[in-house]
Amino acid sequence: MLGDEAIALAALHAGISGVYAYPGTPSTEITEYIQRSPLAAAVHSDWCTNEKTAMEAALGVSYVGRRALVCMKHVGLNVAADAFVGSAMTGTHGGLVVVVADDPSMHSSQNEQDSRFYGRFALVPVFEPSSQQEAYDMVRVAFELSEDVRLPVLLRITTRMAHSRAVVSTAPACPPAPVSFPEDRSRWVLLPVNARRRYGELLAAQDDLERLSAVSPFNGYTPGGSKGVVACGIAHNYLMEALDGKPDRTVLKVSQYPLPRDLVRRLMDECDEVLVLEDGQPFVEEQLRGLLDTSGKVRGRLSGEVPRAGELTPDNVRAALGLPFGNHFAPSSSVVPRPPALCAGCGHRDVYEILNEVIADHPDAKVFSDIGCYTLGALPPFRAIDSCVDMGASITMAKGAADAGLFPSVAVIGDSTFTHSGITGLLDAVNSHSNITVIISDNLTTAMTGGQDSAGTGRLEAICLGVGVDPAHVRTVVPLPKNRDQIRRTIQEEIDHPGVSVIIPRRECIQTLKRKR
């Protein structure tokens, strides 16, 4: 099964009462597996509006003594960060495991941030599996650990772990826990007086967490000479691949954090040179070096043995180990990139074609867009958008630019992204009477990640009216070529309207439509 599926099955076997998530590649399949599973009849698995609501709902499950799984992609943790860091301060009651899927090499993402930093920042244990089997085993252990140390546990995976298949053996399922309440009421009320006490407890727990890492079955020290390697998570696989399963050097395998200081010290004492192999950012390497790098023997992404950016591969690990390469064919110079594109017949296509026509009469116009399939409108032949930053930023950036004097200032956002993080920005724009035109390109689904339910389906107009947009300037159209003239007029009229307008082009995603047939 996929790494994502192994995690989902382990959570079901651990007796969760709910999975709380917003879709995001490469984490989406965890929740989808639970939604399909016959084991999950009594398990909550509806998609959440965003990662923050997911994290908070899961903390509520934990509060009443039951187990919950939270899943998101790495940038989702930015959205959920307030609740995530807060959950370390309150601590947990029922087991709480937060799965965050990082995307080094940015296969489907806008940055390469490494979630292990968040774990360290929030002062919670972090697990990082090296195989699909370990992912399964770790989820089972993580729920127990979360209840033992009364903290959330972060399970950090990367794209290759999430989207690779292997055979996984399972352990007997345990029944869900009954509802129970935490004895200590005050730790859940983070008034400064309580928070100061809780922070002291959290800091005091760090030594225990480190001791647990030192004896963790997921970490290991294998002596093997004066050359040392730290292999974190999936890096261990690439190391074993390169060394054909027979390490000729000392290996410290790290799959549970905080870093086990005693094992690291032993490695540094016993080895002349220590290579750090980790997917993502140089999280461990920086800790081993310290600011002044007094040992001078730590190698890795910062010293150039491993590329500073991009995911690990069997090849760059092999190169970092100084091993020779076998013969292979030269890459073909005839091959050109084949970027993804909006599907033939997609409603976003009609929206961009018509918007481009209207904008052609307004040379100063800027179009702020967002995260979703419609981001592909940046590519030829459309070249229709000027920005894509984070979920919801289209509306708020358009507002800021309009406040600063831009006209016309247009936002293009999808339906699911709008409910995820666009509604509050629209409220800001209404309150400031900002002169913006918001296009909510509604395909009735969360299409980019494969067609999950969209939180506001059927209620987008009501949401916009509720936020306070003038009903005369909430306009719905059907993006089909035959409606081109009408849509063109609608966009032109709403750009001319000096205030907040919302245009909702609505037509079902061509992919979800095909699947129904």
Binding stretches for another protein (CB under 8 A): 2, 25-26, 28-29, 107-108, 160-161, 163-167, 234, 237-238, 240-242, 245, 313-315, 318, 325-332, 334-343, 373, 376, 380, 448-450, 511
CB of 132 to another protein, least distance (A): 8
Which lies closer to another protein via its Cβ, residue 411 or residue 448? 448
Distance CA 391, CA 406 (A): 22
How far apart CA 307 and CA 316 sit, in angstroms, is: 8
**Residue number with CB closer to another protein (107 or 196):** 107
Rounded to the nearest whole angstrom, what is the least distance from the CB of residue 376 to another protein in the complex? 7
Give long-range contacts, CB 8 A cutoff, 24+ apart: 479-483: 479/347, 479/348, 479/350, 479/351, 479/354, 479/441, 479/505, 479/506, 479/507, 480/347, 480/350, 480/507, 481/350
| CB-CB contact of 31 with 458 (8 Å) | no
Task: Please say which residue, 326 or 471, places its beta carbon nearer to another protein.
Answer: 326
Nearer to another protein, 7 or 373 (CB): 373
Nearer to another protein, 376 or 500 (CB): 376
Nearer of residues 236 and 506 to another protein, judged by Cβ: 236
DSSP state string for 388-403: --STTHHHHHHHHHHH
Minimum gap (Å) between residue 479 Cβ and another protein: 18
Helix (H, G, I), strand (E, B) or coil at 484: helix
Burial class for 185, CB neighbours closer than 10 Å (0-12, 13-18, 19+): exposed
CB of 242 to another protein, least distance (A): 8
Q: At what angle do helices 74-90 and 51-63 cross, to 10 degrees?
A: 30
- Torsion angles phi and psi, residue 123, rounded to 5: 70, 40
Q: Tell me how far apart the alpha carbons of residues 199 and 205 are, in angstroms, rounded to a whole number.
A: 10
Minimal distance, residue 139 CB to another protein, in Å = 19
Instruction: State the minimum distance, in angstroms, from the CB of residue 424 to another protein.
Output: 27
* Nearer residue to another protein within complex by CB, 38 or 192: 38
CB of 450 to another protein, least distance (A): 7
Dump the DSSP string for 409-457: EEEEEEHHHIIIIIHHHHHHHHHTT--EEEEEEB-SSBTTTT-B--TTT
Nearer to another protein, 279 or 461 (CB): 279
Q: Is 7 helix (H, G, I), strand (E, B) or coil?
A: helix
3-state SS assignment for residue 69? strand
CB of 65 to another protein, least distance (A): 35
Whole-number Cα distances in Å, 332 to 321, 328, 336: 27, 12, 9
The residues, any chain, with a CB within 8 Å of residue 328's CB and separated by 6 or more, are: none
| Min separation Cβ 514 and another protein, Å | 10
Q: Which is nearer to another protein, 109 or 409 (CB)?
A: 109
> Whole-angstrom Cα distance, residue 254 to residue 130?
9
CA distance from start to end of the chain? 28
